[in-house]
């Protein structure tokens, strides 16, 4: 990629257009407080995808969907057989999600590709904008199902039996979703059915205070948090709240409190790098006047060091039992079941570093100093370009609010302006061809 092409790609980004698209998307599932609740594989999710397609179609981008419902919008290069460069993120949200989490990366990717086309920059490689299925995990746990299946990290049917809070299985929801999108061409599932992409870039809001605190608009991610997910089940015995003596109870909720207290000790980290979260709790029979007979809770454990992930994750069951001697007694059971995970990844692993180098050049082209940080994401070996529109403040509950509601954000285009040059690392017109097979 020449410096001229990079500058043209960044300059062609239309910040107003990108902002208007973000605001249109934010209407789908809007909730009080400027947030969004748009669960995956729902009518709202499909409506959002159709809106995206309505923008991509006039640009000549070719849509396709794989077996997990991952949606791709393809810009053809001069060599359609070349491994593509992929950019994007997700469109689903948490129940109290933000207007920019995930969807910013999809819309920024679309804007970057549109800017390249409007600037007249020819590319050798195809470029694909992707919207991953169930990246958030707000409806079906764990998250990152679509990206993990794409990368061959888990088989496509690994989560068929997973249920949402209403008892709908992931398999049933996916069947309904694919039937509703039967008019969209089908494609193979990622590296399972075809070649690996040349590189992956993702624009994402920071969801933290560092870039804003340092007065920076954009930073380059140099690693990905590794994660391990567990589902813990504690069994006690139900009893009447008014008659059962405390000394004789086998209360699963009290067992859970002791277990979590012990786990907090296991996960203590003075450097504050480790992330430990109990995010979902299910209690049975879940009535106000009954002692709980069963509790299930999730553990989301993250760290960039594989050794820490393995050592502390493997110690979870022993820590729970050691924290509550009653769990070793008759009638109690602690069952931490691994529910998945992602190994840590750095920028030099596999081919993803090629895209990362393009992203760093993009940050330089924008005259912004890259902020190197660790980003939590689910697709193994993916580099991410992280963009935080200046003044976009992550708030409690994961809702990100702009500094001036309803106004076009002055730096909303920083991410699209950054990934545009990164999408053409070796492929702008006038560049030598890459090695065969790449």
- pLDDT tens-digit map of 178-235: 999 999 999 999 999 988 999 888 888 876 777 777 777 777 776 677 888 888 999 9
More confident residue, 197 or 354: 197
Residue 224's pLDDT is what? 72
Tell me: pLDDT of 406 over 90: no
Tell me: pLDDT of 110 over 90: yes
The segment(s) of the chain belonging to CATH 3.40.630.10 are 3-224+345-422
Q: What is the pLDDT of residues 143-176, one digit of tens each?
A: 899 999 999 989 999 999 999 989 999 999 999 9
Q: What is the pTM of this model?
A: 0.75
Q: Which of 22-26, 84-88, 377-381, 422-426 is predicted least confidently?
A: 377-381
Task: Indicate the CATH number of 226-342 among 1.10.150.20, 3.30.70.360, 3.40.50.720, 3.90.1530.10.
Answer: 3.30.70.360
pLDDT above 70 coverage of the chain, percent: 75
What does the H/E/C string look like for the chain? CCHHHHHHHHHCCCHHHHHHHHHHHHCCCEECCCEECCCCCCHHHHHHHHHHHHHHHHHCCEEEECCCCCEEEEECCCCCCCCCEEEEEECCCCCCECCCCCHHHHHHHHHHHHHHHHCCCCECCCEEEEEECCCCCCCCCCCCHHHHHHCCCCCCCCCCCCECCCCCEHHHHHHHHHHHCCCCCECCCHHHHCCCCCEEECEECCCCCHHHHCCCCEEEEEEECEEEEEEEEEECECCECCCCCHHHCECHHHHHHHHHHHHHHHCCCCCCCCEEECCCEEEECCCCCECCCEEEEEEEEEECCHHHHHHHHHCHHHHHHHHCHHHHCCCCEEEEEEEEEECCEECCCCCHHHHHHHHHHHHHHCCCCCCCEEECCCCCCCCCEEECCCCCEECHHHCEECCCCCCCCCCCCHHHHHHHHHCCCCCECCCCCCCCCC
Q: 3-224+345-422 maps to which CATH number? A: 3.40.630.10
The segment(s) of the chain belonging to CATH 3.30.70.360 are 226-342
Work out the average pLDDT over 30-36: 92
Q: What is the pLDDT of residues 296-334, one digit of tens each?
A: 999 999 998 989 999 999 999 889 888 666 655 534 455
Tell me: pLDDT of 435 over 70: no
């Amino acid at each position: 990629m020449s410096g001229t092409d990079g500058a043209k790609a960044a300059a062609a980004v239309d910040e107003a257009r990108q902002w208007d698209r973000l605001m249109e998307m934010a209407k789908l599932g809007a909730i009080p407080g400027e947030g969004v609740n748009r669960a995956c594989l729902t009518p709202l999710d499909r409506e959002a995808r159709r809106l995206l397609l309505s923008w991509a179609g006039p640009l000549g981008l070719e849509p396709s969907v794989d077996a997990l419902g991952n949606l791709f919008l393809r810009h053809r290069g001069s060599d359609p057989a070349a491994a593509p460069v992929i950019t994007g993120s997700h469109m689903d949200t948490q129940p109290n999600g933000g207007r920019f989490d995930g969807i910013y990366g999809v819309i920024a990717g679309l804007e970057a590709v549109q800017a390249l086309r409007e600037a007249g920059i020819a590319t050798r490689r195809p470029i694909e904008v992707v919207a991953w299925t169930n990246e958030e995990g707000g409806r079906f746990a764990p998250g990152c199902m679509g990206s993990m299946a794409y990368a061959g990290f888990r088989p496509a049917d690994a989560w068929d039996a997973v249920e949402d809070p209403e008892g709908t299985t992931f398999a049933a929801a996916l069947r309904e979703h694919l039937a509703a999108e039967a008019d969209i061409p089908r494609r193979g599932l990622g590296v399972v059915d075809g070649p690996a992409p040349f590189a992956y870039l993702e624009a994402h809001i920071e969801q933290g205070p560092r870039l804003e605190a340092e007065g920076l608009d954009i930073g380059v991610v140099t690693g990905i948090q590794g994660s391990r997910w567990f589902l813990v089940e504690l069994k006690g015995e139900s009893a009447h709240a008014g008659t059962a003596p405390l000394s004789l109870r086998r209360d699963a909720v009290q067992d859970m409190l002791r277990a979590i207290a012990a786990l907090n000790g296991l996960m203590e980290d003075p450097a504050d790098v480790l992330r430990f979260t109990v995010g979902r709790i299910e209690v049975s029979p879940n009535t106000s006047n009954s002692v709980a007979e069963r509790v299930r809770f999730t553990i989301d454990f993250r760290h960039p060091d594989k050794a820490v992930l393995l050592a502390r994750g493997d110690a979870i069951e022993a820590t729970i039992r050691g924290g509550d001697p009653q769990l070793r007694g008759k009638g109690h059971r602690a069952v931490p079941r691994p529910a998945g995970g992602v190994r840590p990844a750095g920028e030099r692993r596999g081919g993803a570093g090629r895209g990362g180098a393009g992203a760093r050049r993009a940050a330089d082209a924008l005259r912004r100093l890259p902020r190197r940080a660790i980003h939590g994401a689910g697709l193994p070996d993916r580099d991410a370009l992280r963009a935080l529109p200046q003044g976009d403040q992550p708030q409690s509950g994961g809702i990100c609010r702009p500094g001036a509601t309803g106004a076009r954000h002055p730096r909303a285009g920083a991410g699209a302006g950054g990934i545009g040059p990164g999408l053409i690392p070796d492929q702008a017109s006038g560049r030598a061809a890459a090695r065969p097979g790449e």
